[in-house]
Structure 1
Amino acid sequence: MYIPSLKEVVSAEEWQLRCDLAACYRLVALHGWTDLVFTHISARLPGDGHDFLINPYGLLFDEITASSLLRVDASGNQLTESPFTVNRAGFVIHSAIHAARPDVQCVLHTHTRAGVGVSAQQAGLLPISQQSMVIQGSLAYHDYEGIALRDAEKPRLQSDLGKANYLMLRNHGLLTVGATIADAFLAMYIFESACQIQIAAQAGGPLTMVDESIQATAQADARAQTGGIGGRFVWPALLRKLERTNPGYDA
């Protein structure tokens, strides 16, 4: 499907954001975290408003390009001409979080088998792996209310997330937020890995929980591992891999 380039239409800052977000969609596809067309990633646009970019509903994640992404405002008005529209559930979830968290540029939501599996467990994410240790200090939970089509759910989403960077949507999936797209992606990589490890570990014998005294230092240790720059440390390598495997996201 031909979609005209917006490179010369939007600002340089918006274009870079579009390229990074399109890359994020394709990386999510590359890692096998998609649910056909039914999940979503958004990125806040620069400025005083709450406009953000999100996927055109109906495109697979490995098809998304910088120019195909849709700009929407806080009221749900679509500001990009396109044959596609915005997933209503995507708008409700992402607009709620962008409105409540000005520190967040990117919101990433998935429905993976491991993520939904752990979200359905009464105890949630267990402190049993190095990956889960990174998450525990910034993890929140939101109870399932059905498909997120109603604005009435927004205040509860906002309240449950609070200042956390990881949100387990019970019986539904995973959500991460980040100050950059790279941060949100790295957070989801860790979150998804922790859930896969938990499901695998539960298939074996009794589990060993990590002591709380170690949990307290895990996030600081993780920041040290990336030189204090978080997702930006791995993002260039991820883009190089994407260029080798699925180029064209920046069109």
Structure 2
Amino acid sequence: MEAIIERPVSAAKPIDLGKRTSIYQPEQEGLIFPEVPVFADPAAHRQHLKERLVAACRAFALQGFDYGFAGHLTVRDPEHPELYWTNPMAVHFSQVKLSNLILADHQGRVVEGRHAVNRAGFVLHAAVHEAHPDIVAMCHAHTVYGTAFAALGKKLEPISQDAAAFFEDHVVIGDEAGQVAVEVKAGHKVANAFLGVKAAIHQNHGLLTASRHSIESAAFWFIALERCCQQQLMVESTGLKPRLVSEERARYSREHVGSDYIGWLHFQAIWEQLVATQPDMFD
């Protein structure tokens, strides 16, 4: 079966943001607001990425995204882009910490760390990272609603502002639907679908998200995509036809609440909560 891929066809009418990245950034100076960090050297950048990768895994645990050893999150190393950091094989999301992260190459060889790499994680994520140098992070987990929705083999509809964040910004992949991804060719087919989009619904498998910005963005948009799948399944269970957000309004919402930056910004609240409640992340 061929992948079902539709690319974004139109952008919303832009708003003059001045020097701001997003309309959500305050125009008034002196207010507390998250700032995207800037790093003086690769070591500081690497430490930051590893901490956020651990936090993303812990966030997945809080969301109940665990399913045995399934599920993998990756972020590209800032100094060695051919390598990526990922969670260790057969370690629960809630037990991932700085000390058990592993560093792997695109061939699945662990170059730092004591744990093995998840074979399916290597096949899918390494292929995407290798094919798309602009993608810095990726997330996948076997979730309840995402997996159920993936069985329908269709895209999300813009039934809400939240769902509009994915309007014309996700694809359905039909290739090798339901076949476990342990062969390299499966990873290449998934990689081909991630051209210019942040999310994919792999038929009979589940959800994948990718970010050209940060692991925080990839993780938040995965959480959001799972919620949107749950909401659409709930709406469809009523048997009533929902009133959809118009294409023009859906594009407008996508531009202002669906960007990589907004995903990063959303995750800052999750980060602060995790830092306050799970200090063992940094062990």
Please state which band the TM-score falls in when normalised by the shorter chain.
Answer: 0.7 to 0.9
Distance 1:163 1:69, change over 3 A: same
Q: Count matched residues.
A: 238
| Structure 1 equivalent of residue 49 of structure 2 | 17
CA distance in 1, matches of 2:159, 2:249: 11
Are 2:151 and 1:151 aligned? no
Unaligned segments of structure 1, at least 5 residues: 1-9
Question: Secondary structure at the residue paired with 1:97?
Answer: helix
Question: Secondary structure at the residue paired with 1:248?
Answer: helix
Match for residue 203 of structure 2 among 170, 175, 192 = 170
| Structure 2 equivalent of residue 207 of structure 1 | 241
| Structure 2 equivalent of residue 131 of structure 1 | 162
| Structure 1 equivalent of residue 128 of structure 2 | 97
Question: Secondary structure at the residue paired with 1:146?
Answer: coil
Question: Secondary structure at the residue paired with 2:281?
Answer: coil
Moved over 3 A (4+): none
| Structure 1 equivalent of residue 106 of structure 2 | 74
In structure 2, give the amino acid aligned to 1:188.
F
Question: Secondary structure at the residue paired with 1:249?
Answer: helix
Distance 1:151 1:16, change over 3 A: same
Provide the TM-score with structure 1 as the length reference: 0.88
Shift of 1:14: 1.8
CA distance in 2, matches of 1:217, 1:237: 24
Q: Deviations over 1:86-110 (max 9, x none)?
A: 1100000010111122222110112
Distance 1:236 1:161, change over 3 A: closer
CA distance in 2, matches of 1:165, 1:239: 21
| Structure 2 equivalent of residue 5 of structure 1 | none
| Structure 1 equivalent of residue 193 of structure 2 | 160
The farther-off stretch of 169-178 and 121-130 is: 121-130
Unaligned segments of structure 2, at least 5 residues: 1-41
In structure 1, give the amino acid aligned to 2:194.
L
Q: Deviations over 1:158-187 (max 9, x none)?
A: 222222111111111111111201111221
CA distance in 2, matches of 1:232, 1:108: 14
Shift of 1:250: 1.6
Root-mean-square deviation over aligned CA pairs: 1.9
Shift of 1:247: 2.5
**Aligned 8 A contact 1:18 1:67 in 2:** no
CA distance in 1, matches of 2:257, 2:251: 12
The farther-off stretch of 213-222 and 189-198 is: 213-222
Instruction: Name the % identity.
Output: 26
Question: Secondary structure at the residue paired with 1:234?
Answer: helix
Question: Secondary structure at the residue paired with 1:137?
Answer: coil
| Structure 1 equivalent of residue 19 of structure 2 | none
Shift of 1:11: 2.9
Are 2:224 and 1:193 aligned? no
**Aligned 8 A contact 2:103 2:113 in 1:** no
In structure 1, give the amino acid aligned to 2:203.
R
